[in-house]
Chain A
């Protein structure tokens, strides 16, 4: 097991390095002038020269990369060209929303998708099965931003059940837990940044501080975007679960379980599902990638100030530090999560460990 994990880790390192290089290059290759984008079209030669000097953009590219790597190693992502603020700070503000949204969408996709898949498989070819699969097919074919818009129109405007955009209603403020509990945390330290990052997950924060108003409000705002975002992964998970379970039910060991006199429930849960859900686990890692991509679109549609919209704006404004930092974080996070998924799979499936 240890060998397996360490081997996977080693393999991940060149990939992560590749990601860093690619991201760095891509960011630098974006045509257009950060100076003009930020200072304005009318910026003079001298102003731009000074700008480049100040931001370190006059150094040769390999040097810039080395500087970049060095900074990264210290956890310093540099300052945003656009806002002249540390990128880390911007990340602390923006990333939590994306994380909450993605996690919520994944949870919904799993909680709804897997049981649907199971029911469809157990009632193979029945009306439930056909209906669910039809829905799944349609779900997988819908553009997430369109679904979001339609949902806003129906549930927010027509029915007035949910807010159409934003993260919290105006006037509702989330109080960080360390403030609510009176923890002394020094500003400017890494510890502070970490706590700030955690407290920006409003749902988690309001849960642990038992701030009912904020909890209710933030959940209320997250429902529509999370459901919209979850639709495609949900459909895929449902289909995957169904086909995997159908396949498993035909296996020899399920027949053995029956031959032992096991009741249907035991056969399905202890024997079939334990095996059928394994492929679904591998899918989860891939889904995260889709969720992250979809998050950009969902955040745009629902007016949520998350990492997705930030990244998109940065690309348009040629704000290199933000582009690089956010892309790296997302990509590395994706690699790490897939690594975790791989390891979990190995834990769950003893056959893999022998590799």
Chain B
């Protein structure tokens, strides 16, 4: 636990990709914290940097990406200053991760049971038989029927939903403090989606694991999360608990997101969208990154938006938003 009681504290994280065409600033100053046992949603559209943030925490950022600066405090230590060995010790045992495409995330030539018991072998050096038994128990816990037979099967014999359950079993086997779930249900059927989320929530509550749930689906957020952080163009633009987010969104982007979700039963002529496109992360504009798409800037007569980037201002009890609308410092 860090000083403020959080289990994970990310401060000013910057991860950039040095490509041939230029530097892509995928994560450009991200701050958030995760409290023990809570489900934090990390929301945003494709390309906003949420996946890269999670990979940065795990130390799995692929080349040509690199964490440039920042601090990732876990249990009082900065993960970014740890040695490779120490980070490897953390993975799987204290911080786990599951990914979007479960069927391709499993080794095709190894038995499923062996893949689960591998975490026991790596971190606890358990004997084969014991590990095997524990793996079967985990399979049962995630709701896979006939776990003995299933443990001896290979990944291609599993459907998407089943495979994701296996991934969850693998990730939660050692009861980590944090589970990072990167769009775990995006590739799955809607009906399966609900089941997977149930499994996740049940296990999470049982073991008290905190979850960072990355998604672009607000429905999932509403169902699963305790708190939510909204990301846009590599920055966090709003952070609060889930009820407040939906009841009283403050940042114009968040408002746009929530407003664009069609409501059952309400008849409209057009689907609401946020006009414009995401900025090019190689060539970040000065000022607020959302400025050119913001529909509240002009009516409020704000000019500072295009020249200076706002900080995260407090807009309520445990509620911050990165917008010039919420500071007395507005100079017309």
Interface residues of A (CB under 8 A from B): 250-253, 255-263, 266, 270-271, 274-275, 278, 348-351, 354
Cβ-defined partner of A351 (8 Å) among B88, B156, B167, B170: B156
Q: Would A266 and B104 count as touching, CB distance under 8 A?
A: no
Q: Mark B47-71, 1 if CB is under 8 A from A, else 0.
A: 0000000000010101000000000
Among A258, A259, A263, A275, chain B packs the most CB atoms within 10 A around the CB of A259
Chain B residues with CB under 8 Å of A250's CB are 62
Bound-state Cα–Cα, A349 to B109, Å: 6
CB of B91 closer than 8 Å to a CB of A: yes
Q: Would A255 and B154 count as touching, CB distance under 8 A?
A: no
Instruction: Specify the main secondary structure of chain A where it touches its partner.
Output: helix
Chain B residues with CB under 8 Å of A266's CB are 122
**Given A260-B170, A261-B88, A261-B92, are A354 and B156 also a contact pair (CB < 8 Å)?**
yes
CB of B330 closer than 8 Å to a CB of A: no
Contact stretch, chosen from B9-17, B95-103, B235-243: B95-103
Q: Would A258 and B60 count as touching, CB distance under 8 A?
A: yes
Q: Would B109 and A274 count as touching, CB distance under 8 A?
A: yes
Q: Would B109 and A259 count as touching, CB distance under 8 A?
A: no
CB of B93 closer than 8 Å to a CB of A: yes
Q: Would B105 and A255 count as touching, CB distance under 8 A?
A: yes
Q: How far is the CB of A196 from chain B (nearest CB, A)?
A: 42
Q: Would B109 and A275 count as touching, CB distance under 8 A?
A: yes
Bound-state Cα–Cα, A350 to B156, Å: 8
Cβ-defined partner of B92 (8 Å) among A252, A260, A275, A349: A260
Q: Would B58 and A259 count as touching, CB distance under 8 A?
A: yes
Q: Would B91 and A348 count as touching, CB distance under 8 A?
A: no
A-B contact pairs, 30 of them (CB 8 A): A250-B62, A252-B101, A252-B105, A253-B105, A255-B60, A256-B99, A256-B106, A256-B107, A257-B107, A257-B118, A259-B58, A259-B60, A259-B97, A259-B99, A260-B92, A260-B122, A261-B90, A261-B92, A262-B88, A262-B122, A263-B88, A266-B122, A270-B118, A271-B110, A274-B109, A274-B110, A278-B109, A349-B109, A351-B154, A351-B156
- What residue of chain B has the Cβ atom nearest to residue A348's Cβ? B109
Q: How far is the CB of B54 from chain A (nearest CB, A)?
A: 10
Q: Would A351 and B106 count as touching, CB distance under 8 A?
A: no
A-B complex: 7 closest residue pairs judged by Cβ atoms: A261-B92, A261-B91, A260-B92, A350-B154, A252-B104, A252-B105, A253-B107
Bound-state Cα–Cα, A313 to B184, Å: 67
Q: How far is the CB of B67 from chain A (nearest CB, A)?
A: 15
- What residue of chain A has the Cβ atom nearest to residue B87's Cβ? A261
Cβ-defined partner of A253 (8 Å) among B58, B90, B106: B106
- What residue of chain A has the Cβ atom nearest to residue B91's Cβ? A261
Q: Would A261 and B123 count as touching, CB distance under 8 A?
A: yes
**Given A252-B101, A256-B99, A351-B154, are A261 and B106 also a contact pair (CB < 8 Å)?**
no
Bound-state Cα–Cα, A164 to B330, Å: 91
Q: Mark B17-36, 1 if CB is under 8 A from A, else 0.
A: 00000000000000000000
Q: Would B92 and A259 count as touching, CB distance under 8 A?
A: yes
Bound-state Cα–Cα, A239 to B112, Å: 31
Chain B residues with CB under 8 Å of A349's CB are 108-109
Bound-state Cα–Cα, A257 to B90, Å: 13
Chain A residues with CB under 8 Å of B73's CB are none
Bound-state Cα–Cα, A344 to B101, Å: 29
Q: Give the total of B residues in contact with A, Cβ under 8 Å.
A: 29
Bound-state Cα–Cα, A209 to B265, Å: 90
Cβ-defined partner of B119 (8 Å) among A255, A261, A271: A261
Chain A residues with CB under 8 Å of B60's CB are 255, 258-259
Bound-state Cα–Cα, A56 to B154, Å: 59
CB of B248 closer than 8 Å to a CB of A: no
- What residue of chain B has the Cβ atom nearest to residue A260's Cβ? B92
Q: Would A274 and B107 count as touching, CB distance under 8 A?
A: yes
Q: How far is the CB of A145 from chain B (nearest CB, A)?
A: 40
Chain B residues with CB under 8 Å of A262's CB are 88, 92, 118, 122
Q: How far is the CB of A148 from chain B (nearest CB, A)?
A: 39
Apart from the given pairs A251-B104, A259-B97, A263-B88, 18 other A-B contacts in the complex at a CB distance below 8 Å: A256-B107, A257-B118, A259-B58, A259-B60, A259-B92, A260-B91, A260-B118, A260-B170, A261-B89, A261-B92, A261-B93, A262-B88, A262-B118, A274-B107, A275-B107, A275-B109, A348-B109, A350-B154
Q: Mark B78-95, 1 if CB is under 8 A from A, else 0.
A: 000000010011111100
Chain A residues with CB under 8 Å of B92's CB are 259-262
Bound-state Cα–Cα, A260 to B154, Å: 18
Chain A residues with CB under 8 Å of B58's CB are 259
Chain B residues with CB under 8 Å of A274's CB are 107, 109-110
Cβ-defined partner of A271 (8 Å) among B107, B123, B170: B107
Chain B residues with CB under 8 Å of A278's CB are 109
Chain A residues with CB under 8 Å of B170's CB are 256, 260
Q: Would B91 and A350 count as touching, CB distance under 8 A?
A: no
Chain A residues with CB under 8 Å of B109's CB are 274-275, 278, 348-350
Q: How far is the CB of B123 from chain A (nearest CB, A)?
A: 6
Chain B residues with CB under 8 Å of A275's CB are 107-109
Chain A residues with CB under 8 Å of B110's CB are 270-271, 274
